[in-house]
Amino acid sequence: MSDLLSRFAAIVGEKYAIRDPQDQQPYLVEMRDLYHGRTPLVLRPGSVAEVSAILKLANDSGTPIVPQGGNTGLVGGQVPHESNTEIVVSLKRLDRIREIDATSNTMTCEAGVVLASAQKAADEADRFFPLSLGAEGSCTIGGNLSSNAGGTGALAYGVARDLVVGLEVVLADGRVLNGLNKLKKDNTGYDLKNLFVGAEGTLGIITAAVLKMFPKLQSRASAFVGLKSPEDALRLLNLANARAGGSVTLCEIMPRVGLEFVLKHGSGVRNPLAGMHDWYVLIELATAADKPLRETLEYILGAAFEEGVVEDAAIADNLDQARSFKHLRETLAEIQKFEGGSIKHDVAVPVALVPELIRKGSAAAVKLIPGCRPVPFGHLGDGNIHFNITQPVGADKEQFLARWEEMNEVIHGLVADQHGSISAEHGIGQLKRHLLHDVKDPVAFALMQSLKKTLDPNNILNPGKVL
């Protein structure tokens, strides 16, 4: 084993082969501290050729490989198991933006480019890259694509998969699939890139991607709105879509208890509204056209007031205020930890059924664990709700978290009844691997297994994840 590890290390050079257990720690624990792994070696390749050589040696020797981007995933897909037999391959050094093509509205980024850097590069080219999520300062493009990240821009622009034009992927045997084209139209056979987007590194390692850019947004208007119910939140969304069409770029929902958590534990935050309401919506209009949107948003909110849909609203007067509104929503997931244990779900249902899911799910959760505090929040505009359940006040955290699987059955059962998904944007990883067989169409699941065997016959790529 020592000789084999030395051969792997020689590919990247000893400087980029991490053997010391202490130095390996940032690569072995994920941000929620749910998964802890062990590895004999962390490799940090600096080129596609090095990634190719690593996988060729791994395939020939039967050595399992765990690809890793920014290590911000929430389902353990990027963390090695505790067997101490898997080599972690960090893509962070592949961090070049190879090309910005403003005419084609594309940019070609390597896998290790941090999402915020890609956003900045697009902005400097007078363009806009819409993928946006809470971890954008540390997550990477490769990780975003491998997990098919969603985020707040999905309502208007789609998820990560919708923003990819072409991919460069290193296959399990070391071959490099060069699909970095910028074509909008290419009907020369199967669209192979979508096999790898969302595959969590189990079919190949994404090393670069051609991404879509859009005209820079010239006008924005956002509001923080208080309402009585999720049903009213959905009515507001429908009003906005009817009056503003494709200009609705953000529609996020959060319950009163969620805002209370943020106001209690957040730093430098305040309630934008005069009083408290049972539910809140953060809504944003944006367009690349040079036209004022504040008047449109005022009109929408005015109509909503007249129909009894909205109780109160604050429209942002400037960009800083708009960011403060967004901050209230974005910090909620992290803030929940100060209230004790939280059983989390990343689910999606048809948008029209979101209020029913919230109502039935909250009632079922409280029935299962009296005193627990449901905190369903998230992307109302695309039906993706983070249905988190915070422990009862004063309860034992470990005893509460020990009922994770019971709560899963309750919430996931409701999602199944509504023909939804148990993983909207976080992926499967280790956390939901045992659930996939039961929720996936049997034919689809069999095809997934066949693809895995075809592309990775020796099962070296992220084994024990997804399938």
* Whole-number CA gyration radius for the chain: 23
3-state secondary structure of 68: strand
Query: How do beta strands 164-170 and 87-90 pair?
Result: unpaired
Tens-place pLDDT, residues 217-244: 999 999 999 999 999 999 999 999 999 9
pLDDT for the residue numbered 202: 98
Whether residues 224 and 288 share a domain: the answer is: yes
As a whole number of angstroms, the longest Cα–Cα distance in the chain is: 75
Structure tokens at 106: 């594309």
Q: Is residue 94 predicted with pLDDT exceeding 90?
A: yes
What mean pLDDT comes out for the span 311-322?
96
CATH of the domain at 210: 3.30.465.10
Whether residues 319 and 407 share a domain: the answer is: no
102 contacts 129 by C-beta, under 8 angstroms? no
Evaluate whether residue 449 is within a structural domain. no
Alpha helices in 379-441 (DSSP H): 397-401, 404-417, 433-439
Evaluate whether residue 463 is within a structural domain. no
* Nearest alpha-carbon partner for 211 in 97, 68, 289: 97
Whether residues 163 and 228 share a domain: the answer is: no
* Nearest alpha-carbon partner for 339 in 267, 273, 266: 266
Distance CA 188, CA 191 (A): 8
Cα–Cα separations (whole angstroms), residue 44 to 9, 175, 176, 429: 9, 19, 18, 22
Distance CA 407, CA 416 (A): 14
For 342, residues 6+ apart whose C-beta sits below 8 A from its C-beta are 336, 375, 388, 389, 390, 391
Q: Give 298's pLDDT tier (boundaries 50, 70, 90).
A: very high
Residue ending a domain, choose from 170, 190, 215: 215
Residue ending a domain, choose from 215, 240, 261: 215
pLDDT for the residue numbered 34: 84
What mean pLDDT comes out for the span 165-185?
96
Evaluate whether residue 432 is within a structural domain. no
Strand order in the sheet with 42-43: 17-18, 42-43, 87-90, 65-68
CATH of the domain at 2: 3.30.43.10
Whether residues 291 and 305 share a domain: the answer is: yes
What mean pLDDT comes out for the span 416-434?
95
Tens-place pLDDT, residues 97-147: 999 999 999 999 999 999 999 999 999 999 999 999 889 999 999 999 999
Q: Domain total for the chain?
A: 4
Element (H, E) at 219: strand 219-227
Evaluate whether residue 458 is within a structural domain. no
125 contacts 87 by C-beta, under 8 angstroms? no
Q: What angle do CA 175, 162, 116 make, to 5 degrees?
A: 85
Q: What angle do CA 67, 71, 75 make, to 5 degrees?
A: 90
Evaluate whether residue 169 is within a structural domain. yes
Whether residues 67 and 140 share a domain: the answer is: no
Whether residues 27 and 75 share a domain: the answer is: yes
253 contacts 292 by C-beta, under 8 angstroms? no
Q: What angle do CA 107, 109, 112 make, to 5 degrees?
A: 155
Whether residues 183 and 273 share a domain: the answer is: no
Whether residues 278 and 372 share a domain: the answer is: no
Q: Is residue 151 predicted with pLDDT exceeding 90?
A: no
Evaluate whether residue 9 is within a structural domain. yes
Whether residues 116 and 204 share a domain: the answer is: yes
Q: Which DSSP letter does residue 21 get? A: H
Tens-place pLDDT, residues 6-32: 999 999 999 999 999 999 999 999 888
Structure tokens at 453: 């065997």
Distance CA 29, CA 39 (A): 11
The domain of 260 spans: 219-335
Residue ending a domain, choose from 335, 362, 378: 335
Q: Is residue 413 predicted with pLDDT exceeding 90?
A: yes
Tens-place pLDDT, residues 237-272: 999 999 997 899 999 999 999 999 999 999 889 999
Whether residues 85 and 3 share a domain: the answer is: yes
Question: Where are the strands (E) in 60-146, listed by range?
Answer: 65-68, 87-90, 97-101, 106-110, 127-128
Distance CA 461, CA 62 (A): 10
Average pLDDT value over all residues in the chain: 96
Whether residues 103 and 211 share a domain: the answer is: yes
Q: Is residue 291 predicted with pLDDT exceeding 90?
A: no
Evaluate whether residue 438 is within a structural domain. no
Whether residues 306 and 385 share a domain: the answer is: no
Tens-place pLDDT, residues 31-56: 888 899 999 999 999 999 999 999 99
Phi (first) and psi of residue 70, to 5 degrees = -85, 0
Distance CA 390, CA 393 (A): 9
Q: Give 1's pLDDT tier (boundaries 50, 70, 90).
A: confident
Query: How do beta strands 87-90 and 65-68 pair?
Result: parallel
Evaluate whether residue 437 is within a structural domain. no
The number of beta carbons lying within 10 Å of the beta carbon of residue 381 is 26
CATH of the domain at 280: 3.30.70.2190
Phi (first) and psi of residue 90, to 5 degrees = -90, 130
Handedness of CA 274, 275, 276, 278 (dihedral sign): negative
CATH of the domain at 348: 3.30.70.2740
pLDDT for the residue numbered 418: 96
Q: How many Cα atoms are found within 13 Å in the side-chain-facing hemisphere of 461?
A: 29
pLDDT for the residue numbered 417: 96
pLDDT for the residue numbered 292: 87
Q: What angle do CA 114, 375, 336 make, to 5 degrees?
A: 55
Single pTM value for the model: 0.93
- Residues 1-10: contacts with CB within 8 Å, 24+ apart? 1/40, 4/61, 4/63, 5/40, 5/41, 7/57, 8/41, 8/43, 8/54, 8/57, 8/58, 8/63, 8/87, 9/41, 9/43
Question: Where are the strands (E) in 311-372, listed by range?
Answer: 312-315, 342-343, 346-348
